[in-house]
Amino acid sequence: MSSPIGQEELCQKNLIAAYIDGELDERVTLLFEDHLQSCAPCRAELRAHRLFVCELDAALTDTGEIPVPEDFSRMIAARASSDMSGVRTRSENRKALGICVILALAGFALLGARASGAIFLLAEKFVTTSLGVAGFLATAVYDTVAGLAVIFRVLSRKIIIESGSLVPVLILLAFAVLILSRLISNYHRTGATE
């Protein structure tokens, strides 16, 4: 069983189209017709719907066709082919295709030549820069080792030969180990914070 529909609900529901099409059941139809007696906006809306349906029926039943000659489609096809005849022959199509292929190949060749020059230039700069950096690093390492060797030779000669004992060498070695361990712990401490 459906719940009873109040007069306010009839106004809010869109029942006009269903009423015109005869889709409402008998009880709702009677309630809607009673509602139409007291509701001017719904009566105006019903009138507008009926007018629209009448105009739609009149438009759909009007057979105002435009007369077309019997051989209209054949005439159009003949006219189209005669207008296009001679525009492009087989030889013209082959020439156009050949020109397009030649232009495409020339474009690819020019792009390839330009790109290959840029690639070779980039590769040359990369190799030159890499060799320059490697040479600088090798020179720096060699100079550092040579400088340390000279310093070590001078210090060892002064400490060992002139003093005659190994105690200063052992103190220097202990000092070097202490500094090295301190540097390693600082390195690990900064590495852990990053």
The one-digit pLDDT tens for each residue of the chain (194 residues) are 345 566 566 676 677 888 888 888 888 888 888 888 888 888 888 898 888 888 888 777 766 666 777 777 777 777 766 655 556 677 888 888 899 999 988 888 887 777 777 777 888 899 999 999 999 999 988 988 888 888 877 777 776 666 667 777 778 788 888 988 888 888 777 765 65
**Matching residue, tokens 């700069």:** 125
Q: Length of the chain in residues, anyone?
A: 194
Query: Is residue 46 included in any domain, yes or no?
Result: yes
Q: Kindly state whether residue 40 falls inside one of the protein's structural domains.
A: yes
Residue 76 lies in a domain: no
Q: What's the one-letter identity of residue 32?
A: F
Tell me, yes or no, whether 180 lies in a domain.
no
- Residues 6 or more apart whose CB falls under 8 angstroms from that of 27 comprise none
Q: Is residue 29 part of a domain?
A: yes
The 3-state DSSP composition of the chain as helix, strand, coil percent (nearest 5) reads 85, 0, 15
pTM of the shown model = 0.31
Position 50 in a domain: yes
The number of distinct structural domains making up the chain is 1
| Residue 13 resides in a domain | yes
